[in-house]
Amino acid sequence: MDFYFGLIQIIGVHTLLGLSAYVILLTGQLSIAQAAFYAIGAYVSAMLTVLWGWHIVPALFAGAAMGAFFATLVGFPALRVRGLMLVIATLAFGEGVRLFFFNFDYQIQKGNVKVGPLGPEGFRQIRYFPENGWTTFDVMLFVWVFVILVMALIWWVDRSRYGAVLRAVGDDELAAQSVGINLTAVKVSAMTVGGGIAGLAGCLYAHYTTHIEHLGFGVLQSVFAVAYPIIGGMASVFGTLFAVIFVQGILVEGLRFLGDWRNLLFGALIIVAMVVRPTGFLDALMLKRFARWFALGRERA
Amino acid sequence: MLDFVQALIDGILYGTTYALIGIGFTLVFGVMHKINMAYASASIGAAYVALVVGGLVAGASAWLVFGLSFLLGGLFGLLVYLICFHLIPLGNENATLMSTIGMLLLVDELIAHATQGMPQNYPSTAFGEEMVRMGELSVRGDLIFVFAVSVVAMGALLALLYRTRMGLATRAVAQQPVAAQLCGIQVVKVNALTFVITGLLGGIAGALVCSAVGTLSILITGPLTVKGLIVTVIGGLGSVPGAIVAGLLVGGLENVVLYLRGVTERDLYVMLLMFAFLVFRPNGIFARGAGRD
Amino acid sequence: MLELRGLSRYFGGVRAVDALDLRVAGGEIFGLIGPNGSGKSTTVNLVTGLFAPSAGQILFEGADIAKLPTHARLAHGIARTFQNIRLFGQLTVWQNLWVAQNSAEDRARKGFFARWLGGQRDARAEILPLLEFSGLAHKQDELASNLAFGEQRRLEVARALATRPRLLLLDEPAAGMNSEEIGQLRERILKIRERGVTVLLVEHVMELVMGVTDRIAVLNFGQKIAEGTPAEIQADPLVRKAYLGGEAA
């Protein structure tokens, strides 16, 4: 049973990762740096709970805040690069952050052991949950409380003027400027929100996996982050959720049949998804169909 | 001081491989306005398959392997085009980008599994034994070989682009795809050919990189991709001469920083250089300056 | 209301706009015509801030706006439509108007959170009159990219109006229209003026220009070669020469 709880935890955190990329993607910016903010949130919150004994919830918000902060810093220079250049720039930035954590040492003495991040070895013994008697089930619920909160928030944004403005910017920046939309404010704020969500995801990840290292925050994670909204469709947050469940489901099942060929499966999956359905699963048309189906269902009931 | 110059020279010679990879990225961008993220991986993939086949056939002599890598590179390039670009509507940027990323992961995993994660010995030519001495400096023969082959490849490419009809058609498509079609140029053919040509280049580059280092390992593809992209950005997306200069620049800088400050700072400085260009000169080395219009 | 003093814009050696002096009074419908390449669109882009002037001043209600970024000029009350329609294709008709509610007036009426994160119902109610004015109310939930061409043109204008402008620049709105449609456009422009909006109409289609404007300025090679009422312009030999080249009978 624990195995399934663990899987649901992973799905939850990956959904958050996907949503962090989704918000930014709405404005037409494709960021392959989400793993960087994920990493920052992970290390910061882990250091707070392990080194300085913070409670998990404030550490969570601190991690998210740091993710948001650095995303804002990235957001401004990102304005100067368009399209594919942004992809390259964020890719390089993500790699830079990973390299930073590869070299990051900060250990303090606690009792008779040294705790804290240790360069390539990473950060071991992030034992907040076990030390405080949380079961896997408890952790899973905790993760999903935040997933649902964030999903609800973004779902609300999607229905608000901010969401429409985000999409307008993603559609046509020139026209958006000409109707009075402040591109800088919109694009940077989207980056900030995305960074915050990624930071939040990182914190949850660090604490349920208890050991983090630079390898878990590389290009692959950033690719996961953007793959979910693109494969799942940009019309709704549920697209990202479905994509996570779909991909993780296949990967987990695939593991059973194919052993250690997970990444190969993921790569092939992405290619097939893009060839078969380049606009993503839940695109505008599909969303309309779902909405109508729901409405009909409610009418009959 | 002498060691510094030595490091610089070695770096620049090695940098020609970065130039080749950079050219590959930049040419595809120039013609199709897309980035083929799988390029470096496919190149190393070609080098690997060439190694295997060469080993089976004739005991993996260096020249055979290089030649095979060249050809296989072209083949893989065509495959990437067919799978990732031909089948997906080109208007959808995200989809084509993601498909090449998927291909990157796929190829990486295939190589990782085929090699069981173990680095493979890669043949180098006999030049490796030679050292050219110029006064107090000595230059590795195999690096000179790498340099020479790269220069020949670049020269061939430039000749192709600027002196043949195919090259003309390619440049036409790069500048005005719709008008090119209206002039009877088959854009699909040009696109596919661009991938084949860059694939050929990539095959050479992959083989050269592995032979210069002596091993082929799955750990090369990631950094090579990032470096190739950095070179592309610094050289200016779409500029082949830019990629050449940028490749040499990055190669030289990288080695110099390695000599002065060690491995970890090496990558950092290269990345900083790229960010500097992004901020101050986003159109690359040969940009004509920021024109807001 | 709008004053251009010695406005110039050079692209390398090309003088797209050359020392242009222009005055548009409040409440006018002012026409800007000229052969292709005469600098009409560049002028519009200069006024709205897509290009920076190489020389000269742009004064809007007395204030120099040349240094303001595009979205800020909107806050002052300048709006425009695009020659090749630039709607937000992925958004619905009413959403296209919704995202354009960025005027100072809108900002003053509602609080920050209400404006950005508030619900849709109130917004739709506000936008409905404008949709009705543009004849698009029945299509408000349709995706903008699914509209017919004529409807898209109307939406383009409606969206500009949603920003509550005091000056509206129309960039060749009649392109591709037949006589009947031009007549309807003429009516709409007059109604827009009745709502208190000054209009600067850049246009090629003489039927519309002569029929709706109060005054016209004629550009050729970036310079103003004539200015006056429609009747004066029609009689001006310089104008005829610019369009037809050489002496006309």
Query: Kind of pairing, strands C55-60 and C167-171?
Result: unpaired
Q: How confident is the model at residue B79 (pLDDT cuts 50, 70, 90)?
A: very high
Residue A203: is its pLDDT beyond 90?
yes
The pLDDT score that the predictor gives to residue A297 is 63
> How many Å lie between the alpha carbon of A183 and the closest alpha carbon of chain C?
8
Structure tokens at C151: 């409807």
A186 is a domain residue: yes
Contact call for A178 and C101, based on CB within 8 A: no
CA nearest to A31, candidates A71, A82, A85, A86: A86
Better pLDDT: C22 or A264:
C22
Residue of A nearest to C164 (CA): A179
The rounded distance, in Å, linking the Cα atoms of A55 and A50 is: 10
Chain A neighbors of C89, CB-CB under 8 A: 171-172
Q: How confident is the model at residue C245 (pLDDT cuts 50, 70, 90)?
A: low
The pLDDT score that the predictor gives to residue A299 is 62
What is the tally of structural domains in chain A? Answer: 1
A215 touches chain B (CB under 8 A): no
Contact call for C11 and B293, based on CB within 8 A: yes
Phi-psi bin for A180: left (phi > 0), alpha (psi -120 to 50), beta? left
Chain C neighbors of B292, CB-CB under 8 A: 51-52
Q: Apex CA B41: angle with CA A191 and CA B209, to 5°? A: 120
CA distances from C84 to A169, B179, C228 (A): 18, 19, 28
Chain A neighbors of C70, CB-CB under 8 A: 177-178
Mean pLDDT (whole number) for C124-142: 87
The pLDDT score that the predictor gives to residue A102 is 86
Query: In this structure, are residues C207 and C182 in contact, taking their beta carbons and an 8 Å threshold?
Result: yes
Query: Which residue segment(s) compose the domain that A13 sits in?
Result: 2-218
Rounded to the nearest integer, the mean pLDDT of chain C is 86
Rounded to the nearest integer, the mean pLDDT of chain A is 87
C55 touches chain B (CB under 8 A): no
**How is chain B split into domains, by residue range?**
17-221
Structure tokens at C81: 């439509």
The rounded distance, in Å, linking the Cα atoms of A89 and A86 is: 5
Chains that touch B (3 or more CB pairs under 8 A): A, C
The rounded distance, in Å, linking the Cα atoms of A275 and C32 is: 49
The pLDDT score that the predictor gives to residue B129 is 62
A243 is a domain residue: no
Chains that touch C (3 or more CB pairs under 8 A): A, B
pLDDT one-digit tens code per residue, C186-231: 999 999 999 889 999 998 888 888 889 999 999 888 888 888 888 8
B91 touches chain A (CB under 8 A): no
Positive or negative torsion for Cα A162, A166, A167, A173: positive
Residue of C nearest to B291 (CA): C11
Interface contacts A/B by beta carbons within 8 Å = 121
Query: Kind of pairing, strands C78-80 and C63-64?
Result: unpaired
Q: Apex CA C242: angle with CA C237 and CA C244, to 5°? A: 90
> How many Å lie between the alpha carbon of B271 and the closest alpha carbon of chain A?
7
The rounded distance, in Å, linking the Cα atoms of A35 and A122 is: 16
Residue A151: is its pLDDT beyond 90?
yes
Best mutation target, B106, B227, B267, to test chain A (most A CBs within 10 A) = B106
Q: What DSSP string runs through B8-64? A: HHHHHHHHHHHHHHHHHHHHHHHHHS---TTHHHHHHHHHHHHHHHHHHHHS--HHH
The rounded distance, in Å, linking the Cα atoms of B155 and B148 is: 10
Q: What is the ipTM, given to two decimal places?
A: 0.85
Residue A262: is its pLDDT beyond 70?
no
The pLDDT score that the predictor gives to residue A188 is 94
Interface contacts A/C by beta carbons within 8 Å = 86
A277 is a domain residue: no
Q: How confident is the model at residue C248 (pLDDT cuts 50, 70, 90)?
A: very low
Query: In this structure, are residues C136 and C155 in contact, taking their beta carbons and an 8 Å threshold?
Result: yes
3-state SS string for C143-203 = EHHHCCHHHHHHHHHHHHHHCCCCEEEEECCCCCCCHHHHHHHHHHHHHHHHCCCEEEEEC
Q: Which domains does chain C have, with CATH numbers?
A: 2-244 (3.40.50.300)
A39 is a domain residue: yes
Q: Residues of chain B with pLDDT > 70: what percent?
A: 95
Q: What DSSP string runs through chain A? A: -HHHHHHHHHHHHHHHHHHHHHHHHHTT---S-HHHHHHHHHHHHHHHHHHS---HHHHHHHHHHHHHHHHHHHHHHHTT--HHHHHHHHHHHHHHHHHHHHT-B--EEETTEEESEEGGGEE----HHHHTT--HHHHHHHHHHHHHHHHHHHHHHHHSHHHHHHHHHHH-HHHHHHTT--HHHHHHHHHHHHHHHHHHHHHHHHHHHS-B-GGGGSHHHHHHHHHHHHHH-TT-HHHHHHHHHHHHHHHHHHHHHHSS-HHHHHHHHHHHHHHH-TT-TT-HHHHHHHHHHHHHHHHH-
pTM of the model: 0.87
Chain A neighbors of C86, CB-CB under 8 A: 172, 174-175, 178
* Surface of A (16-55) touching B: CB under 8 A: 25, 30
Residue C141: is its pLDDT beyond 60?
yes
What is the three-class DSSP state of C141?
A: coil
The rounded distance, in Å, linking the Cα atoms of C37 and C204 is: 12
Of residues A157, A159, A180, nearest to C120 (C-beta): A159
The pLDDT score that the predictor gives to residue C220 is 86
Q: List residues bridging with B140 in a β-sheet.
A: B131
Contact call for A176 and C120, based on CB within 8 A: no
Better pLDDT: B80 or B141:
B80
Residue of A nearest to C77 (CA): A180
The rounded distance, in Å, linking the Cα atoms of A171 and C100 is: 14
The pLDDT score that the predictor gives to residue A292 is 81
Question: What backbone phi and psi angles, to 5 degrees, belong to B39?
Answer: -60, -55
Which amino acid, one-letter code, is at C97? L
pLDDT one-digit tens code per residue, B210-237: 888 878 888 888 888 988 999 998 988 8
What residues of B are in the C interface, CB distance below 8 Å? 292-293
C51 touches chain B (CB under 8 A): yes
The rounded distance, in Å, linking the Cα atoms of C177 and C171 is: 14
Contact call for C116 and A181, based on CB within 8 A: no
Contact call for A171 and C88, based on CB within 8 A: yes
Q: How confident is the model at residue C249 (pLDDT cuts 50, 70, 90)?
A: very low
Q: How confident is the model at residue B208 (pLDDT cuts 50, 70, 90)?
A: confident
The pLDDT score that the predictor gives to residue C140 is 86
Residue of B nearest to C50 (CA): B293
CA distances from B19 to A130, B43, B127, B234 (A): 51, 14, 21, 11
Contact call for C11 and B292, based on CB within 8 A: no
Of residues B83, B97, B275, nearest to A87 (C-beta): B97
Q: Residues of chain B with pLDDT > 90: what percent?
A: 13
The pLDDT score that the predictor gives to residue B272 is 85
Structure tokens at A25: 């993607």
The rounded distance, in Å, linking the Cα atoms of A38 and A201 is: 6
Mean pLDDT (whole number) for A271-296: 82
Residue of C nearest to B293 (CA): C51
Q: Residues of chain C with pLDDT > 70: what percent?
A: 98
Residue A207: is its pLDDT beyond 70?
yes
Best mutation target, B37, B83, B101, to test chain A (most A CBs within 10 A) = B101
Mean pLDDT (whole number) for C11-30: 87
> How many Å lie between the alpha carbon of A179 and the closest alpha carbon of chain C?
5
> How many Å lie between the alpha carbon of B238 and the closest alpha carbon of chain C?
23
Chain B neighbors of C51, CB-CB under 8 A: 292-293
> How many Å lie between the alpha carbon of B220 and the closest alpha carbon of chain A?
14
Better pLDDT: B291 or B278:
B278
Mean pLDDT (whole number) for B188-201: 88
Rounded to the nearest integer, the mean pLDDT of chain B is 83
Instruction: Please give the radius of gyration of chain B, using alpha carbons only, rounded to the nearest integer.
Output: 19
A159 is a domain residue: yes
pLDDT one-digit tens code per residue, A39-78: 999 999 999 988 888 888 999 999 999 999 999 998 988 8
Q: How confident is the model at residue B108 (pLDDT cuts 50, 70, 90)?
A: confident
Q: What DSSP string runs through C11-68? A: ETTEEEEEEEEEEE-TT-EEEEE-STTSSHHHHHHHHHTSS--SEEEEEETTEE-TTS
Mean pLDDT (whole number) for B135-160: 79
Chains that touch A (3 or more CB pairs under 8 A): B, C
Residue B285: is its pLDDT beyond 50?
yes
Residue B162: is its pLDDT beyond 70?
yes
